[in-house]
Chains A and B, each alone.
Chain A
Amino acid sequence: MPKYTVKFKIPKHLQVPMGAVIPSPKTENEGMITGNWRIVRPVIDHEKCTTCLNCYIFCPDACWQLNEKTEKMEWNAKYCKGCRICINECPADALTAEEELNFPDGVVRLDVPF
């Protein structure tokens, strides 16, 4: 009689949590990096910026944060996907879109796209 009870050997890279329940990320989810989608990036002119926080509210990926010490907006290159929403929403015209390849910094290079 064939048996059913089988001990599965699950390779390490395929071991997933039960029911695919993912614990809440505290600050960021490294599996969902979107900074590599960017073709243009928003560049901030701090002179014009009034820290009205519109960009903070509208950014779908929470890439704009107010640094309370310097009272300046800070941009997160790792997750900003260059969607231009903040640029459109900025009432003070402090944000401009510039081509990503003009900047040597902000490199988020992945092997496999998310």
Chain B
Amino acid sequence: MAKEYFYSGCAAAAYGAKAARVEVITSYPIRPYTGIMMELSKLVANGDLDAEFVHGEGEHAQMSVTLGASASGARAYTGTSGVGVAYGMEVYSPTAGGRYPCQCAIADRALDPPGDFGSEHTDVMSARDQGYIMGWAESPQEVFDNTIMFYRIGEDQDVMLPQFCCQDGYFVSHIPGKVPVPEQSQVDEYLPPYNHPHPLDPHRPTLHGPQIFPDQGAAIDIQRAGAHANLPKVIEKCVKEYNEVMGRNYAPMLDEYMTDDAEFVFFLQGGHAKTARYAVNHLRKKGVKAGMVRPRFTRPFPSDEIAERCGKFKAIGTIETSTSYGGAMRGGNLIHEVRASLYDLDKRPAVTSMMAGLGGEVVTLDMFFQYAEVLAKAAKTGQVDQWVYWAGFDIAGWEGARRLQF
């Protein structure tokens, strides 16, 4: 029988890693993900978890140790935040290219415009093209489940890819929520031990990460691309099985809320989806046909599902919690991908984006309501006036919606 605990996202990730029986953990402190490693170090010190705990001298070392541990056949776990993600950047491509299915927990944090520590997705979003599997959790419970699920997906022999298991810094990582923790036997049933086909072993020498010639580069890259092509199927299988074993109810790729008869939807990833749900509830009460769509994975991006299921809406409004300065739509990242996914449809919804939750500001219910007005108008006319709206700055009447938090 599952027991329910009151965990923050950090603790949920740590106990998820414990349930997944990780064997090597590498740490280096940075807010806000530190809590994960603090909990894990306690578990290791108390003898509750039999794992090697390595303290790296920086994120680059951390990622390298994780790569090595995974190459030697251990289930490796690490994590970082914000500028730490950026510092470990060099190792991401070798980890994904070498096909080491280790996991990197992320509690995201803004990259510094001098010294910010709030939640913003830009840190991991800038590492999104390296071949990692990547997805955001909405609640501590989903953090716990994703930790186990991502290992299973990444370690599938058709995939063998590392994973970024992301959660919003502070909002999810620090605010506790209820987490029903399954029995260890259930997790063991779902997640078999990790087997690398050719682990580093002194008795059976292998060479990992050799130097290759330029004409072999594309051949290596296409393998990574092939693994990503396999992912949607594997994800569907693994999520379905997880739901059966643990009694949960996760959609594999797209989490939809009140979308059956929706005219427009909010499209966003991560913890703010929780507020979006409340906003949708309020809007429905007023008779506005709003809905919410949340991708559970950003890599692989659920393009097929979006093309299949989001074409029926009249307008889609992405809520961007990351920046893409000078990008095609001049705002965030999600709108690019959503628009591209919809391009081949005959009838395309109007897509616009709202920059909100940058630098750790709270995306309030008010912001959703104001944005809903923009989207309702777009749904009626079928056109958008702007690609990007900056919550609180550029829609008339928005001044004062935002206040200084500290």
Contact = CB atoms under 8 A, between A and B. Distances in A.
Asked whether the complex places CB atoms of A and B closer than 8 A, the reply is yes
Given A2-B384, A13-B404, A20 B399 contact: no
Interface string A5-31: 011111101100001100000000000
A7 B385 contact: no
A20 B113 contact: yes
B173 to A, nearest CB: 22
A69 interface: no
Contacts of B214: none
Contact of B385 (A2, A8, A14, A19): A2
A32 interface: no
B367 to A, nearest CB: 14
A20 B113 CA distance: 8
A4 interface: yes
A37 B352 CA distance: 46
Interface string B375-391: 00000000111111010
B352 A8 contact: no
B346 to A, nearest CB: 21
Contacts of B278: none
Q: Looking at chain A, what size class is its interface with the partner chain?
A: 10 to 19
B406 interface: yes
A2 B352 contact: yes
- Judged by DSSP, the binding face of A is loop
Contacts, number: 38
Given A2-B352, A20-B113, A8 B393 contact: yes
B217 interface: no
Contacts of A4: 330, 386-388
B394 A9 contact: yes
Interface string B174-197: 000000000000000000000000
B400 interface: yes
Contact of B400 (A3, A8, A11): A11
Nearest to B395: A9
A9 B113 CA distance: 21
- Judged by DSSP, the binding face of B is loop
B386 A11 contact: no
Central interface residue in A3, A6, A14, A20, by most chain B CB within 10 Å: A6
A8 B114 CA distance: 22
B402 interface: yes
Given A2-B352, A20-B113, A14 B402 contact: yes
A2 B114 contact: no
Contacts of A2: 352, 383-387
A13 to B, nearest CB: 6
Nearest to A1: B383
Given A2-B384, A2-B387, A3-B385, A11 B402 contact: yes
Contacts of B400: 11
Interface in A71-106: none
Contact of B399 (A3, A6, A7, A9): A9
A10 B403 CA distance: 11
A20 B404 CA distance: 16
Contact of A14 (B114, B386, B404): B404
A10 B393 CA distance: 6
Interface in B350-406: 352, 383-388, 390, 392-394, 398-400, 402-404, 406
B390 A8 contact: yes
A20 B400 CA distance: 22
A3 B383 CA distance: 12
A11 B387 contact: no
A6 B404 contact: no
Contact of A9 (B383, B386, B388, B393): B393
Contacts of B394: 6-9
25 contacts: A2-B352, A2-B384, A2-B385, A2-B386, A2-B387, A4-B330, A4-B387, A6-B386, A6-B388, A6-B390, A6-B394, A7-B394, A8-B390, A8-B394, A9-B393, A9-B394, A9-B398, A10-B393, A11-B399, A11-B400, A13-B403, A13-B404, A14-B404, A19-B114, A20-B113
Interface of B: 113-114, 330, 352, 383-388, 390, 392-394, 398-400, 402-404, 406
Given A6-B390, A11-B399, A20-B114, 13 more contacts: A2-B352, A2-B385, A4-B388, A7-B394, A8-B390, A8-B393, A8-B394, A9-B393, A9-B394, A9-B398, A11-B392, A13-B403, A112-B406
Interface of A: 2-4, 6-11, 13-14, 19-20, 112
